Amino acid sequence: MALLATGQITFIDYNDALSLTGFINSTHPKTQVYSKDGGGSYSSNWVSVNNLLIPNVFRQAAGAAGIDLVSPTGGNGVGITNAKWTLKLFTDAAVTIAAGASNASFGSVSASAPYTLTLNKNCMTEARPSLECTFSCVYTDPSTALSIDFRTSVTFSLMKSGGKAVFVQIFEANGQYVIRNGAVSTSNLSLRFSVFRNGVKDTVVTGIAQWKYRDPGGNWTNDGSAVALSGTNPETAAAKTISAATVDAITNSRTYRIEYTDNDSEADVTGTVYSAEVSILDLTDPYQMSYTVDGGTIFKNGEGTKTIHFKLFQNGTEVDLVSGSYKLYRLTLHDQNGNLTYFKSAYDLGTSISGAISAGATSLVVASAGTGSKAIKAGDRLVFEPGVGAKEEIVQVSASYVSGTTIALAAGVQYAHAASAPIRSANKKCGLTDTAKVITITGDDIFSLGSVDVEVLD
């Protein structure tokens, strides 16, 4: 019997997939200072106050109820085996310390969950100015009996200081630099900064502290007002609180920056600005997008209309179901050769160029940036109607806007376009309301063969 044809269909169970995420809390900042003055001293001193590294291993769970597999209030180590720490000083060979064991050069690891690593030596030196600490283990999923390897790491560095050297250092009050599941894991995060002068922490400083964060366009934005310091401890007087409301604005990560203007009487040059940065990671559970197509995905002779219904899942649970908070779905069409094209029926933007633009222009002014699903978003592709020389082209909006209805483009236009020329949408977008969470594609949109990419915008 001859084989006539082959095909493939994929079934996905959105509830069984299991993944682990995690991080390491440290009771000391990730930078240790070594001052060569006075015979040499460390700040912070891991001998007098040990540095405790506590791993967190999260198993995905719906909503904000992620399960920490190694915490006493979570899994308490059930299902965890082969827990160990691997330590590597600069170019030295790696050293492994198993649960319940110790090492004379570094410290010890607790025998049971959460497998805390106690660093009781100032192991970094001028010749070995970095220390990478990696926690690893194996978790056996009780549902599938499958073993999952997990690892997470943190790196410490040594900074040398001498004379009247000044620098600032950022740390989180509880050593936690992550958020998860769209909410702060344990109460609020509190970013603090310290000022070091001559390798010693200065707790009585005079100057100005300004917190900033990097926006999606890569620019630094002031996060609140500047804080005036007058003989005060910056760690408490200028703390930056990251609340659950702040977390809602963070996707994947956000980098914070402190800028300290030194007006202290001990400053060599008054008004010198010192800065430091730290990144906060968002370990929100990953999203998965699914869809159904009424009538299948086949057109005959370019006739017919296909309606697509979207579903958005987060860790096996369908989300985007609450009225007033629907996501925006953006579709991009590619032709039979894989080249970007556009939906013939997607001319729904309803705006135009306010002023003529010349070839090479990297921005344009529009009569209206639109609202709802017709709003022009970063990453959108726009179709310029035939302009000078009857040339039509597709341009992409860059990651940031200039101002108002002036929109920055990812690349300069190839052709000149006259004032009031219509601008159409090269993408189809839907969502934002319950009735709008479907989209249609006609046979005119697809020539021979076409593929559609879908993005979900928050």
8 Å CB contact between 355 and 419 = yes
Residues 139 and 106 in one domain: yes
Residues 35 and 146 in one domain: yes
Residues 381 and 421 in one domain: yes
The 10s digit of each residue's pLDDT in 189-224 is 889 999 988 777 899 999 999 999 887 666 788 999
Flag whether 368 is in a domain: yes
Flag whether 8 is in a domain: no
Q: Pick the residue with more confidence: 63 or 281?
A: 281
pLDDT of 53 above 90: yes
Residue 8, pLDDT score: 38
Average pLDDT, the chain: 81
The domain in which residue 24 lies consists of 17-159
Residues 34 and 83 in one domain: yes
Which of the residue ranges 78-92, 308-322, 383-397 has the most confident prediction, judged by mean pLDDT? 78-92
Domain with residue 223: its CATH number is 2.60.40.3880
Residues 107 and 74 in one domain: yes
What's the whole-number mean pLDDT along residues 121-137? 90
d(CA 386, CA 421): 8
The 10s digit of each residue's pLDDT in 233-260 is 999 999 998 877 777 677 667 888 899 9
pLDDT of 31 above 60: yes
Flag whether 354 is in a domain: yes
The 10s digit of each residue's pLDDT in 260-273 is 999 988 887 788 88
Residues 328 and 226 in one domain: no
CA dihedral for 222, 224, 225, 231, sign (positive or negative): negative
Residues 257 and 308 in one domain: no
Beta-ladder partners of 56: 23
Residues 170 and 270 in one domain: yes
Residues 182 and 60 in one domain: no
Residue 324, both tokens: 């007033």
Flag whether 10 is in a domain: no
Which of 134, 159, 184 delimits the end of a domain?
159
Domain with residue 71: its CATH number is 2.60.40
Q: Pick the residue with more confidence: 169 or 250?
A: 169
What's the whole-number mean pLDDT along residues 426-443? 85
Q: State which amino acid sits at residue 58.
A: F
pLDDT of 43 above 50: yes
Which of 252, 285, 318 delimits the end of a domain?
285
pLDDT of 7 above 70: no
Task: Please provide the size of the chain in residues.
Answer: 458
CA dihedral for 455, 280, 99, 103, sign (positive or negative): positive
Flag whether 4 is in a domain: no
pLDDT of 51 above 50: yes
What's the whole-number mean pLDDT along residues 318-330? 83
Residues 252 and 301 in one domain: no
Flag whether 137 is in a domain: yes
Which of 159, 187, 217 delimits the end of a domain?
159
pLDDT of 335 above 60: yes
pLDDT range class, residue 11, cuts 50, 70, 90: very low
Residues 272 and 298 in one domain: no
Q: Pick the residue with more confidence: 300 or 106?
A: 106
User: At 373, phi and psi to the nearest 5?
Assistant: -70, -10
Flag whether 11 is in a domain: no
pLDDT of 65 above 70: no
User: For the chain, what is the domain count?
Assistant: 3
d(CA 304, CA 267): 76
Residues 103 and 250 in one domain: no
Flag whether 294 is in a domain: yes
Q: Pick the residue with more confidence: 385 or 454?
A: 454
Contacts of 115 (CB under 8 A, 6+ apart): 55, 70, 77, 83, 85, 99, 109, 135, 137
Residue 21, pLDDT score: 77
27-31: long-range pairs with CB below 8 Å, 24+: 27/51, 27/52, 27/53, 27/175, 28/171, 28/175, 29/169, 29/170, 29/171, 29/194, 30/154, 30/155, 30/156, 30/157, 30/171, 31/156, 31/157, 31/158, 31/159, 31/169
What's the whole-number mean pLDDT along residues 304-320? 79
Residue 356, pLDDT score: 84
Q: State which amino acid sits at residue 385.
A: E
Which of the residue ranges 296-300, 327-331, 336-340 has the most confident prediction, judged by mean pLDDT? 327-331
